Structure 1
Amino acid sequence: MTTSSVLIPAPAVRRDCAPHGHKGPRYSLVLSTDRADVRAVQALRYEIFRSEPGFSDSIGEDGRDADRFDEFCDHLLVRDEANGEIIGCYRMLPPEAANAAGGYYTSTEFRLTGFDGIMSSTVEMGRACVHPDHRNGAVLSLMWAGILQYLTLTRNEWVLGCVSVPVQFSPGDVPGANVRAVRDALHTRHRCPPPMDAHPFRPVVLDGRGLDDIAAPERVRMPPLLRGYLRLGARICGEPAYDPDFGVADFVTVLGVRQANQRYLERLRSAATSSSAPEENR
């Protein structure tokens, strides 16, 4: 695999419509292990994560969000063709790279059980982020289409990863209240079938109270990324883990291509070719 290659190009602008025929940004999706690209991704992640509630200033002291897994990952980058800037990213850790890295990042937060039968064909995805100026359905659709294409390229069938829910969306929120509501909703409708399960090494405990001791609000606020996972048919495994450095609760998600919502997958593939979003993402 080359160090940098275009996985999904930006849609072409028709000559009879240019320069006024195309409205809005044009995005391409690049698969890269190039060192300069990785550093740009780390800087983007830091810029975005540090603006989130609860983010610890001790992370990324050099202005980059980096860890030991980055060097083993393939990085999916969304590039704004107007200026060449990277505005979104994901990282992918295939099975052979996970072995070289000493395991998956998810395994640093959870003890995974019941996954033995699929781990040899499982890619871990994580560290997803999109610049606030580009948080539209087109970018998320492009990223998801890229993940599906990556699975095809590497001949893997499953994706696994952590999805984060802020402990507080705003300073006035009761810490952990929305996490409790999200957990209850996920376990009711989207829980992994046995024997798959994830056991957090550090359960969510805030001010001495676990999630069962925190009252849930009437309205559940589901992060957009998590909503996208669920539309595709992803399942949630077990209880969330608490990450105090980022001020979030992490849920383990797993999705099998064969078990996914095939109709929605096709809509994503179609949307990616035009950099437009499926209607429900808008």
Structure 2
Amino acid sequence: MSPQSVPVSRPARKLRAGITNHAATVEAAQRLRYRVFSEEYGSDLGAVIPGIDADSFDRHCDHLVVTDEITGELVATTRVLHQHRAQDAGGFYSEGEFNLDMIKQLAGNVAELGRTCVHPDYRNGATITLLWASLAEYLVRHDVEYLMGCASISMADGGLKAWNIARYLQREFMAEDAFRVTPMRELPHLAHPTHVEKPVDVPALIKAYMRLGARVCGEPCWDPEFRCADLLVVLEVSHLASRYSRHFMGQR
């Protein structure tokens, strides 16, 4: 066997998921967010502390994290803002992008998911499954009926891809009128396309949301900080696709 064909063994990984507000762990999550959003994707986060993505919502959120127990490195994170803490936070993060009047009229607890990211070396099914399992535990523990969040699409090409993905998702996964929202800032640069290109290259994270049973709530919004198009999506926890409900949530 030639040296070029010798297989390279990878060290075993032992991942652990949890929900935390511990200051040091939250800071590690903020550093991962900066690495992914700013260094990798070029978002203009306006970081006050170099290398850290932090905002006023963080202290009101519960932070869900996945850690590699072998290395001690935090490798995935997302945060959840429950409606009971949203007032102290000045509202939901997505209220800066969408009119949420219809969402606020829903009967039942609403929570907002945001700042989801995974270390590039850990972007696989095992990591995201652990993150979703931690999220499912949170939803049950805090009696959340509706989970919403912004699903982001790159605008690197000027917006055509974003419009095509948005139109496809609206056609296939549009929510009922009771969940409808309107964007604060329409997408710039391009006129609305009249057709959807096929095949549509939907980002992996949005595909995961749709597989869980999430629905799109309306037109996309332009996010100048992250330089992307955002779609508000909502998941009715009681309608979570059955195979994922069994996998992540088990028996209540």
Fold in common (TM above 0.5)? yes
Closer, same or farther in 2 for the Cα pair 1:160/1:178, shift >3 Å?
same
User: Which of 239, 251, 256 is the aligned partner of 2:231?
Assistant: 251
Match of 1:27 in 2: 15
What is the TM-score with the length of structure 2 in the denominator? 0.89
Q: CA shift at 1:260, angstroms?
A: 1.6
**2:203 maps to 1:223:** yes
RMSD in angstroms over aligned alpha carbons? 2.1
1:195 match: 178
| Distance change (3 Å), C-alpha of 1:159 and 1:57 | closer
| Aligned residues between the structures | 241
Q: Distance in 1 between matches of 2:248 and 2:79?
A: 19
Q: Distance in 1 between matches of 2:244 and 2:178?
A: 27
Instruction: Give the SS at the match of 1:163.
Output: strand
Separation (CA, whole Å) in 1 of partners of 2:249 and 2:119: 22
| Aligned mates of 1:108, 1:199 — CA distance in 2 | 11
Alpha-carbon deviation of 1:243?
1.1
Matched with 2:168 is 185
Q: Which residue of 83, 100, 116 corresponds with 1:95?
A: 83
**Contact 2:45/2:53 (CA < 8 Å) preserved in 1?**
no
Gaps of 5+ in 2: 1-9
| Most deviating of 34-43 and 68-77 | 34-43
Letter in 2 for 1:36: A
Classify the secondary structure of the residue corresponding to 1:242.
Answer: strand
The structure 1 residue matched to 2:222, chosen from 242, 250, 273, is 242
Whole-angstrom CA distance in 2 between matches of 1:262 and 1:223: 23
Unaligned runs of 5+ in 1: 1-21, 169-173, 271-282
SS at match of 1:88: strand
Write the distance in 2 (CA, Å) between the matches of 1:60 and 1:25.
Answer: 34
SS in 2 for 1:82: coil
- Paired with 2:180 and 2:123, the residues of 1 have a C-alpha distance of 31
Q: How does 1:150-189 map to 2 (within 5 A)?
A: 150-168=138-156, 174-189=157-172
- Identity, in percent, stands at 34
Report deviation, 1:259: 1.4
Instruction: Tell me the TM-score normalized by structure 1.
Output: 0.80
1:232 equivalent among 195, 212, 216 = 212
Provide closer, same or farther for how the CA distance between residues 256 and 23 of structure 1 changes in structure 2, counting only shifts above 3 A: farther
Q: Distance in 1 between matches of 2:216 and 2:20?
A: 29
Matches for 1:116-127 after TM superposition, within 5 Å: 116-118=104-106, 120-127=108-115
After superposition, the C-alpha distances for 1:114-153 in whole angstroms (9 at most, x for unaligned) are 2234365011110000000000011111111111110111
Following the alignment from structure 1 to structure 2, what is the Cα–Cα distance between the partners of residues 60 and 86? 22
Cα distance, 1:62–1:110 mapped onto 2, change above 3 Å:
same
Provide the secondary structure at the position in 2 that maps to 1:175. coil
